Structure 1
């Protein structure tokens, strides 16, 4: 199956933008709790899209929307922000980088897709590249943070596979609105019962929330789900390696963090893993 270059590039925009999540969360939202940020990222974006499409699920799609909303939005985003706030950004990104490897095997179970040795090799090369990029001698490990990162990676892998398996009878915009809204709704009781009160937002906080919600969710999830529907899982999942790559580059450009020779080599491995995953199956 030949990969369409325009579909690949549009899909790649999503993980590239998601690479800004760490720097936005830590620099613009330092006093917010992880679940609160996850809810504020998903629910307003979902309600905005829902107000545009003005269409609700019917029949079995109520259940499927909440299942996919939980996997792709609620669990994934909440665990992502737990990892972001508890781990250095590089360590959190490295843990999340195992998602493509999970996706290879899950696709074989849920979609009956063959397990391509090239896909496994690409995922392992990508993980190695991310590790070189972000695991420095000063990187600290936190058990809860690592567990949260792994949980989020597995949740998104399952959600992506089911998204491809359950082709919706509606437009991509509507499908994205359902998932973001359902995922945000599921987080509301968690935030109300277990999280501290939301602090009074400053201009900086509002900028961070708008970026994460409108650009980092409403726009990017539309592009991501579009790619999942049009491309093979083995092709889409390795694009997630762009997130830690962009995170490190933003740290270099904005926070004046330096790149060592090993990190530069890691950049090459990440790019190489993405290229390797796009090679057509024979």
Structure 2
């Protein structure tokens, strides 16, 4: 029963990275051109404010700075570094570097969550990175040092956000919607200065722009982050980190279906390898009673006999 619940929770949590994988297609096809910070702010801030209004509760005490830290790591800084790396690096390179995120979570979870590093996690990390390489790599390319550092920073932000969300949990009496609203709002507010500094307002919005922003707000932020934080609560941090590898898979499939991009045999192999890595990264099913009984050491008949000194005493008597 427990194993079935874990599978269902993992499947639901995996919907969040799947939705995030569609962000590229929505951004290029429906949103104003060259407005990455506007897209990110619209994705986070409106939905966060709505959830805050519905919850009707602000952070209290230490949760003011905890909500700010989580909002920066999970949303603000993560999205900023991701967009920055995408502009500085050739296609696919940022995704390859970001695929190292489960490695960081394995290390951080061992340090701060007492989650044991297992050999199967190391294997899953190697398979996940290798699968993403097969999926997105397109020959040799020169690497921009700042872009590489930004991609590594994005992976560290996501890994740290998962770990701290798992470690701190939710404050008592605060619902998941309110908790998500805190982080979306904090992440959106942090991005405002970058938007004002680096971008201008678009001249106007089309119907396609409105549909694209609505998709990012409702599916790309509110619903996806709710199921994502729910998954972090119910699954080990390492298991959640591997689910994020589904994002480049969905992005590749959507590019093939809607943008006439190619899908090679190596890319299909990469998808299979990524799927296997995600499966290996999930928690092992608990042992059944029959397995526990069979693995227990057998009882010996000696344990039912009197001890040797007692026998000698009885004979001498």
Alignment TM class, shorter chain as reference: over 0.9
2:198 to 151, 170, 195: 195
Matched residue of 1:4: which SS?
Answer: helix
Could you list the structure 1 runs, at least 4 aligned residues long, displaced by more than 6 angstroms after superposition: none
Q: 1:146 to 1:275 in 2, by over 3 A?
A: same
1:136 aligns with 2:138: yes
Q: How far apart, CA to CA, are the structure 1 residues paired with 2:215 and 2:96?
A: 23
How far did 1:141 drift? 4.4
Tell me which moved more, 113-122 or 236-245.
113-122
Matched residue of 2:59: which SS?
Answer: coil
Q: CA RMSD in A?
A: 2.0
Question: Which residue does the alignment assign to 2:179?
Answer: 175
1:238-277 equivalence runs, <5 A = 238-277=242-281
2:51 to 45, 49, 52: 49
How far did 1:258 drift? 1.4
Query: Does the aligned pair in 2 maintain the 1:29–1:208 contact within 8 Å?
Result: yes
Question: Which residue does the alignment assign to 1:160?
Answer: 162
Q: Which structure 2 residue ranges, 5 or more long, are not aligned?
A: 287-317
Question: Which residue does the alignment assign to 2:118?
Answer: 116
Q: 1:202 to 1:20 in 2, by over 3 A?
A: same
How far did 1:83 drift? 2.9
Q: 1:14 to 1:163 in 2, by over 3 A?
A: same
Q: How far apart, CA to CA, are the structure 2 residues paired with 1:55 and 1:135?
A: 45
Question: Which residue does the alignment assign to 2:308?
Answer: none
1:125 to 121, 124, 127: 127
Question: Which residue does the alignment assign to 1:147?
Answer: 149
* Structure possessing the higher radius of gyration over alpha carbons: 2
User: RCO higher in 1 or 2 (8 Å CA, sep ≥ 6)?
Assistant: 1
1:18 to 5, 17, 20: 20
Q: 1:171 to 1:256 in 2, by over 3 A?
A: same
Question: Which residue does the alignment assign to 2:229?
Answer: 225
Q: How far apart, CA to CA, are the structure 2 residues paired with 1:190 and 1:66?
A: 17
Query: Does the aligned pair in 2 maintain the 1:32–1:198 contact within 8 Å?
Result: no
Question: Which residue does the alignment assign to 1:106?
Answer: 108
Q: How far apart, CA to CA, are the structure 2 residues paired with 1:256 and 1:32?
A: 22
TM-score (norm 1): 0.93
1:27-106 equivalence runs, <5 A = 27-29=29-31, 31-87=33-89, 89-106=91-108
Q: How far apart, CA to CA, are the structure 2 residues paired with 1:196 and 1:25?
A: 16
How far did 1:189 drift? 2.3
Query: Does the aligned pair in 2 maintain the 1:90–1:244 contact within 8 Å?
Result: no
Matched positions, count = 281
Question: Which residue does the alignment assign to 1:4?
Answer: 6
1:235 aligns with 2:236: no
